[in-house]
């Protein structure tokens, strides 16, 4: 029988709480969502952007929660016969629990940040490190002020490798998170024009990303993208933060880990690389040159964490792009099939260019077409119109045949498009649904991408509903 995640006593000591009611001896998991809570989980009643967890405490207890971590000033509103650990602030107590989880483990820890590719890089690290030992990693994109401490609090004591994703929208957000994680290795995938509305310049974004150095363990390693324009600034900021060990990755000669030969195929890539002086040939089970570059960072981290490089290289063949982040689904249409590339989770200028490049790399059997369905990129500030209009270059480079645009910002691109490749424009994504469904033809490669608030996901769902996936299991 495996060890419980937390004993009652250890949980109470870490959170500094007070027990009330018949709290179970063992805690088998940590949850902040009563809908997905498993019996034995501790339920943490945090105050979110839209919901207050205290409103769902009764449901969590009914679902079999071992205890509910609740605020002292809300206990009067909760069931009298509940099982509680009472604290001043449940989110702060969750942070303390995360710090305690980090303190008790001997795991080697890696943290990932960057403007683009955090989640896919985190998932690649999980895949690679699982070949060498017990891995604990963030689920989904749990990379913010509650996601990071929650992931830490869920980390078993016997974890051998911990993988954490750390995100930010504003300066100062990464520092408190990385000081909890205390990584041995820190990766910055790249720095690009993302969240410009809050920063004003890419250099300020670089400085915010460089906060990841603040929590790096003594003699820790920073892994940086040598091809990125902000590379020199990041090196300087690492030095200022006292980081003495910097490793680099990229596709240009001079990086510590470099791709020497790359072959891009539909749905995957083959790479011949030097990883910190070791030759390695490997296959990536996901399409796109951006994945090639990020796997160089992943494999560099594997070496620095003391895991097996050869086994990690083999593991990358199992890498897949998740739903909303490049997932490819083959759909049945009249006369044949189409390939749907789902990039609907989010968008910024760098990720939009990467997604369009994937479309350009995809083989198309005529009369099929390369189709791009593009929604607004949010949080770009006063440069928004220009950055949308500049997408005309990657659209042309990808030889896209038809472009559909959604959202007021994307009108700047629509104005730049040659009439021959204009599909349709709508102020809202849902306005494209009927036209898109009616104009699909056999052989098409259709890529859908936009910021989450633009709601491009329902377009993906509409296509899957209208045209059944060839492989229902893969599409599920």
Binding-site residues for ATP, in ranges, read: 114-120
Helix (H) or strand (E) holding 461: helix 457-466
Helix (H) or strand (E) holding 422: strand 422-426
Instruction: Give the C-alpha distances (Å, rounded to integers) separating 408 from 377, 405, 418.
Output: 10, 9, 19
Q: Are 121 and 138 in contact (CB under 8 A)?
A: no
Which residues are CB-neighbours of 387 under 8 A, at least 6 positions away?
193, 349, 377, 380
Tokens describing residue 436: 């898109």
Q: Please, what is the end-to-end C-alpha distance for the chain in angstroms?
A: 32
With DSSP H G I counted as helix, E B as strand and the rest as coil, what are the percentages for the chain, rounded to 5? 40, 25, 35
Residues 76-83: contacts with CB under 8 Å, at least 24 apart: 78/54, 81/21, 82/20, 82/21, 82/57, 82/58, 83/21, 83/22, 83/23, 83/24
Residues 409-416: contacts with CB under 8 Å, at least 24 apart: 409/376, 409/377, 409/378, 409/380, 409/384, 409/385, 410/374, 410/375, 410/376, 410/450, 412/384, 412/385, 412/386, 412/388, 413/374, 413/388, 413/389, 415/389, 416/389, 416/392
Q: Are 424 and 453 in contact (CB under 8 A)?
A: no
Report which of 125, 122, 130 is spatially closest to residue 167, judged by C-alpha positions. 122
Q: Are 65 and 37 in contact (CB under 8 A)?
A: yes
For residue 257, the cross-strand partners are: 249, 275
- The DSSP call for residue 323 is T
Burial 67-86 (b: 16+ CB within 10 A, else e): bbbbbeebbeebeeebbbbb
Residues that constitute the known binding site: 114-120
């Amino acid at each position: 029988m495996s060890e419980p995640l937390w004993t009652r006593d250890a949980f109470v000591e870490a959170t500094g709480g007070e027990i009330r009611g018949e709290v179970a001896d063992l805690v088998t998991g940590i949850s902040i969502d009563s809908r997905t809570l498993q019996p034995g989980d501790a339920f943490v009643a945090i105050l979110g952007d839209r919901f207050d967890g205290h409103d769902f405490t009764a449901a969590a207890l009914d679902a079999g929660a071992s205890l509910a971590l609740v605020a002292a000033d809300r206990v009067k509103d909760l069931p009298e016969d509940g099982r509680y650990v009472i604290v001043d602030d449940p989110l702060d107590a969750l942070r303390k629990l995360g710090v305690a989880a980090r303190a008790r483990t001997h795991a080697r820890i890696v943290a990932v940040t960057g403007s683009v590719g955090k989640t896919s890089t985190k998932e690649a690290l999980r895949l690679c490190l699982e070949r060498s030992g017990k891995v604990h990693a963030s689920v989904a994109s749990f990379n913010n002020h509650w996601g990071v401490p929650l992931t830490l609090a869920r980390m078993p004591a016997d974890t051998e490798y911990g993988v954490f994703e750390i995100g930010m929208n504003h300066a100062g957000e990464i520092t408190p998170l990385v000081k909890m994680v205390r990584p041995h290795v820190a990766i910055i995938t790249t720095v690009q024009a993302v969240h410009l509305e809050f920063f004003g310049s890419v250099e300020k974004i670089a400085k915010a990303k460089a906060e990841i150095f603040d929590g790096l363990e003594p003699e820790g390693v920073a892994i940086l993208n040598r091809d990125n324009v902000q590379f020199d600034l990041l090196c300087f900021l690492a030095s200022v933060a006292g980081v003495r060990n910097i490793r680099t990755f990229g596709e240009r000669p001079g990086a510590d880990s470099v791709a020497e030969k790359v072959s891009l195929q539909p749905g995957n890539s083959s790479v011949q690389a030097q990883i910190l002086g070791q030759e390695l040939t490997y296959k990536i089970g996901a399409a796109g040159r951006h994945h090639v570059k990020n796997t160089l960072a992943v494999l560099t981290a594997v070496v620095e964490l003391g895991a097996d490089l050869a086994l990690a290289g083999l593991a990358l063949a199992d890498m897949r792009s998740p739903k909303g982040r490049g997932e490819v689904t083959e759909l049945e249409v009249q006369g044949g099939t189409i390939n749907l590339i789902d990039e609907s989770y989010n968008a910024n200028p760098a990720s939009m260019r990467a997604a369009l490049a994937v479309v350009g790399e995809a083989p198309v059997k005529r009369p099929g077409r390369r189709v791009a369905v593009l929604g607004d990129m949010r949080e770009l500030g006063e440069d928004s119109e220009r950055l949308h209009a500049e997408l005309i270059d990657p659209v042309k480079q990808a030889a896209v045949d038809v472009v559909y645009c959604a959202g007021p910002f994307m009108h700047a691109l629509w104005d730049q498009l040659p009439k021959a490749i204009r599909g349709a424009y709508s102020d809202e994504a849902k306005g494209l649904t009927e036209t898109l469904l009616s104009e699909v033809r056999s052989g098409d490669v259709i890529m859908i991408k936009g910021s989450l608030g633009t709601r491009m996901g329902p377009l993906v769902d509409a296509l899957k509903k209208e045209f059944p996936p060839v492989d229902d299991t893969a599409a599920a």
